[in-house]
Structure 1
Amino acid sequence: MTSMEIVETLDEGCCVVKYTTAGQLWDIISPREFVDFSYTTDYENGLLSCGVSVDHDEHKQGFVRGFNHPCGWFCIPEENSTHSLLTGYIQTDLRGMLPQSAVDTAMASGLVNFYSDLRQALHV
């Protein structure tokens, strides 16, 4: 993820979020932007966040609009530990005319980078 912006706050824990990703595989896969409805709430001493893409007229030039099917993240603290278990369920359609092998490679490396960046950010 290269940027994230709250487009509209609807209620406590509910918002519309626009975020972008960088191009992948030497820009064979163009940068993407996603606009999602997001809901986040407390869950078993942790957090639950779920979302789904929504229609949004503004379109960032040079980006392909991706689509997220219903997805969710659970972050639950481990007992007797300073760590939490983060579990994510995502179903992303990158859209565009991409070979499936390129999508699979980009998604796998993107998720590895996401978790690595998140771990580094949380150890600060």
Structure 2
Amino acid sequence: MTSMDILDTFEENCCVMRYTTAGQLWNIIAPREFVDFSYTTSYADGLLTCGISLDYGEVRPNFVRGFNHPCGWFCIPLKDCPNHSLLTGYIQTELRGMLPQSAVDTAMSSTLANFYSDLKKALKS
């Protein structure tokens, strides 16, 4: 993920967000943007965030509009170690565009690995 912007806010935990990604595999896979409705709430002493993509506004030049089917992230503190949490993500991303499935599989796996690695670094700082 290269950027995340809140486009519209409906209430404290409810908004429309735009996420962008960089091109992958020497730009064989063009940069993508996703526009999602997102809702976050408390859940079992942790957080639950769920979302789905929307048809919202124009697609910006140099991006392909991807689509996230219903998805969610659960962040729940560990009972044995309350200073740590278990983050579980359930995503169903459709990159769209004309892509070979092998390129999609390679890009998605490396992108998700980088996302969790970057998240871990951010949380430590």
Q: TM-score, normalised by structure 1?
A: 0.98
> Which residue in 1 is equivalent to 2:19?
19
Runs of 4+ that moved beyond 6 A: none
Equivalenced residues, count: 124
Q: Which residue of 2 aligns with 1:71?
A: 71
**AA partner of residue 88 (structure 1):** G
Aligned to 1:54: 54
> Which residue in the other structure is 1:6 paired with?
6
1:80 alignment partner in structure 2:
80
AA aligned to 2:96 is R
Structure 1 runs not aligned, ≥5 long: none
Deviation track 1:45-65 (CA, whole Å, cap 9, x = no partner) reads 100000000011222110000
Partner of 2:98: 97
> In 1, Cα distance between the equivalents of 2:102 and 2:19?
24
Root mean square deviation of aligned Cα:
0.6
Q: Secondary structure at the match of 1:83?
A: strand
**How far does residue 11 in structure 1 lie from its aligned partner after superposition?**
1.5
**Letter in structure 1 aligned against 2:48:** L
Distance across 2 between alignment mates of 1:84 and 1:44:
12
Distance in 2 (CA, whole Å) between partners of 1:43 and 1:98 is 37
Gaps of 5+ in 2: none
- Percent identity over the alignment is 72
